[in-house]
A and B are shown apart, each in its own frame.
Chain A
Amino acid sequence: MSKVILVFGQVRNSEPTRPTLECLSLAAGLGGDVHCILLGTGAKAAAAAAGHQGASQVWANEDASFDKWDLAAVANTVDAAVKSTGAALVLVPATTHGKELAGKLAARHSAALASEVIGVSADGDGFKAVRPVYSGKVRATVKLSGSPVFATVRPNVLDVAAADSSKTATVNDLAAGQGDSRIQLVSVETKGDTGAVDLSEARVVVAGGRGLKGPENFHLIDGLATAFNGAVGASRMVVDAGWKEHRYQVGQTGKVVTPELYVAVGISGAIQHLVGMQNSGCIVAINNNPEAPIFKVADYGVVADLFEFVPKLAEELKA
Chain B
Amino acid sequence: MNIIACVRQTPDTETVIKINGAANGIELDGVKLVLGPYDEYALEAAAQIKEKSGGEVTAVTVGGEKAAETLRHCLAVGADKAVHINDSGADDALAIATALANQIKKLPHDLVFVSNKGTDSDRGAVGPMLGELLGLPYVGLVTEIEVEGGSATVSRDVEGGAKEKFKVTLPAVICAQKGVRGEPRYASLPAIMKAKKKPIETVSPEGDLASLRKVQVEKLEYPPARPPGRMVPGESAADKAKELVRLLRSEAKVI
Contact = CB atoms under 8 A, between A and B. Distances in A.
Interface stretch (B42-50, B82-90, B125-133, B189-197): B125-133
A136 B241 contact: no
B219 A134 contact: no
Interface string A84-125: 000000000011110111111111101111111000000000
A300 B248 contact: yes
Interface residues of B, number: 81
Main SS class of interface, B: mixed
A101 B124 CA distance: 11
B237 interface: yes
B123 interface: yes
Contacts of A272: 13
Given A253-B37, A309-B240, A194 B160 contact: yes
A253 B117 CA distance: 9
B11 A182 contact: no
B221 A139 contact: yes
A249 B118 CA distance: 17
A107 B94 contact: yes
A278 B179 CA distance: 24
B153 A186 contact: yes
Interface stretch (A29-37, A167-175, A196-204): A196-204
Nearest to A97: B158
Interface string B131-165: 11100011111010000000001001111111111
Contact of A302 (B94, B153, B167, B240): B240
Interface in A236-294: 246-247, 249, 252-254, 260-261, 271-272, 275, 278-279, 281-284, 290
B138 A133 contact: no
Interface stretch (A41-49, A58-66, A142-150, A210-218): A142-150
Interface residues of A, number: 98
B160 A299 contact: no
A12 B212 CA distance: 36
B120 A134 contact: yes
10 contacts: A103-B126, A104-B131, A110-B212, A112-B94, A113-B94, A140-B217, A144-B214, A149-B214, A272-B13, A303-B231
A166 interface: no
B9 to A, nearest CB: 14
Nearest to A314: B241
B33 interface: no
Nearest to A285: B229
A247 B129 CA distance: 25
A152 B123 CA distance: 10
A303 B217 CA distance: 42
Contacts of B141: 96
Closest 6 CB pairs of A and B: A103-B128, A112-B214, A107-B129, A107-B132, A182-B169, A312-B241
